[in-house]
Structure 1
Amino acid sequence: MKTIAVIGSGTMGNGIAHTFAQFGYAVNLIDVNADALKKAIETIGKNLDRQVAKGTITDADKEMTLANLSTFTDLKTAVANADLVVEAATENTALKLKIFKDLDEFAKPDAILASNTSSISITQIAAVTKRGDKVIGMHFMNPVPIMKLVEVIRGYATSDTTTNLVMDLSNKLDKVPVEVNDYPGFVANRILMPMINEAIYSLYEGVAGVYEIDTVMKLGMAHPMGPLQLADFIGLDVCLAILNVLHQGFGNPKYAPCPLLVNMVTAGKKGVKSGEGFYDYSNGIKEAKVAPKFAKLV
């Protein structure tokens, strides 16, 4: 594999593009919004600067990485020569199905089509294509350049050849790929999201405040970040979408999203991306404090 196309230039998309480019692959980064693409390249540049400052890469590595990146607003042109396409669009089933239907038409016949979805069925996605054996999940973790795990999800029709190629490719990115089967939430979010949801219920029911809940999990369970802070970083809208997939997929009430989470997303409080969630990020991430809505509970 030499050329990688990445669809979506948001947090995950630009992180995936950054990682592939840093390891020498030609990357076509695609978004319908030209301004979003410009912002993504600026973000990648800043993240590379941090790596240089820490001594993990050189200035020459930074220049090479940026030289490997090309941006596109036209999907058909961008994926035409790609050996692998990684979709990192919004966690919306209808949107992903539309993208994969187009990819099946535009990408070359032997190209592998991967989704960075965190919960949506790879089997369902593959069903809208005529190459189910070449459709797979590559669930990277955020921040992509730093986090080692890649959850590799096999759909019902995904072939051994495709799986082995993606596992090998993930290793070449200095990641640790873990193969899992295609069921709602896969492994990572099937375990993580109920924990986050339970933390939100603990806040909702007045068991403890934001600071207390996160401190218990950080100091008592050795988590690097409390579940409410982590939810803010993931995006509360993304957490809600994943819980809905779990709830609908299993039909089990234990996955039902907490009403507080639903209300917060409806009100536009989505965490870091909106400037406020369980914490207030108006003064930056490093100076985040418990959001005013919840301060009285602390």
Structure 2
Amino acid sequence: MTFTTSSRVGRPDRFRIVRLAHHAHRYPLVAIGGGLLAVLVTLAIAAPLFAGDPVGMDPLIRLRPPSGEHWFGTDNLGRDVFAQTMYGARISLLVGLVSGVLAASSGMLIGVIAGYVRSFDNVIMRVMDGLMSIPTFLLAIALISLTGPGIVTLIAAITVPQIPSVTRLVRSIVLSVRERPYVEAAICGGARIPKILWRHILPSTIAPLMVQGAIVCADAIITEAGLSFLGVGVPPEISSWGNMISSSRLYLATAPITIFAPGIFLAVTILAVNVLGDGLRDLLDPRSKRRG
């Protein structure tokens, strides 16, 4: 009896593992991108447990090569490069994730209003065109100059330039969906506008929004690193990959690891987000499901 019960308990776990393996085999990009991001998120969250102190300085050990005590060596101020790199992952992932979510949610709301309420369409889209005509870096620098550097200001400065692209995407989807027979039937049946939007139009925007959100997240991580490199992003006392590359660029010949470590992690993070976005596009595309 005990054997039967344990086998029944273990059976769903085996089925779940088999299903996960099947999905990973069918959509390898999702598995690779999601796996890399999961590793990076785990390292960032657990950094206080194993990475050490990212701000402690010891001028006596400045620009040391990698060793058992300092895995990635030390920078020009005697700080541990490995600890800085692990803590820098927190900033990049936080800025990328929050900016992606804010840009996707704001763009979805504005795009639905522009696509469904014709009287607002012209005004909203002209504002979006105006925002898109301003280079992202210049707009971000202008916003940061008004309030000063900081995490919240940086997220806002990166999110605002990303909203127009999401808005245009959602608007185009809403314009095509609102003409479909089931939406017209709901309108003729007397359904209220909030119900039509919630039940018939918003679900059609979820899949493209997830893919666009991944693109925005990758772009936000690059923008944060670029702004920090220029000195207008994260404050210098906070460990970030852009700050590390900026402060170590003069020591490339003597201590290349101080630039290569954050640069490689930045490249891997962008690669993981882009691969995950491509995988989500294949996963959520009905045509790819029919081909599978």
| TM-score, with structure 2 as normaliser | 0.25
Higher helix proportion: 2
Higher strand proportion: 1
Larger Rg: 2
